[in-house]
Amino acid sequence: MVAVANANSTSTQPWDKAAPASVAPAKPSISPDKAASAPIAPAAFVSLSDRAKAIVEKAKADQAATETLTDTFDEMLMKRTDALADRLSKAFEKMNIPPEYATHMKVDKFGNVTAEGPWKAKIEKMFSDDPALAKEMKEVSGLNALKAAQASLDLYNEQKKSTNSEAKQAEAWKNYNIRSMNIQTLSGVMTMKDGKLRSAAVDYMDMIADPTGISAAKSRQDFASRLA
């Protein structure tokens, strides 16, 4: 066991006597008003050439593109749909369109957007004056319709595999063709409400997948009016 020495104890051994401490020479004092100061280097500014700036911008764009490569189709579609909804929300706010009002819009194969309701003229003019916005609306609605079409095909394959009956397989094929026609009709229809942008084609397939949902009856009436 190691004993801890008491700071107040006195040793009787001759070698325990404290040796005189060596005194370091005093440093010359420096007066505050004569304190030496290191020279401050001027700040360096680097000016990039146009070519260097272009390389930097390309690197940033490549990095952003790489980050989205890992996104699934559904994730990519959700991001684009949400981004478009955000743009439309801001535009609708400037036009004093109530966010709780369901605004139905339809884009045709040429990219022309038509709308329904009391703000029809304002909305159609907005898209007419902004071709890039109309183009994004067309692409987003088309991608949503593609998602609905894939869901319809998956449903057909499941129904076909679940039975060996030729009659039931024929019924599944008939229903698939009916769904395909309805999806085609709804492909360009988008609804803006409460800051959310919804695809009629995707909503249609969601209703098919859950026919006993709480809003199933309301959805059927909604789609019936859109298909008219």
The token pair at 99 is 């966010």
Residue percentage of the chain with pLDDT more than 70: 63
* Per-residue pLDDT, 204: 93
* Per-residue pLDDT, 14: 41
Q: Is the pLDDT of residue 9 over 60?
A: no
pLDDT tens-place string over residues 163-218: 999 999 999 999 999 999 999 999 999 999 999 999 999 999 999 887 665 455 55
Nearest to 152 by CA among 134, 170, 120, 175: 175
Every domain of the chain and the residues it spans: 70-227
pLDDT tens-place string over residues 94-132: 999 999 999 999 999 999 999 999 999 999 999 999 999
DSSP string, 46-73: -PPPHHHHHHHHHHHHHHHHHHHTT--H
107 vs 68: CA distance, rounded Å: 27
Please calculate the CA angle 177-179-184 and round it to the nearest 5 degrees. Answer: 95
Q: Is the pLDDT of residue 151 over 80?
A: yes
How many residues are given for the chain?
Answer: 228
166 vs 173: CA distance, rounded Å: 10
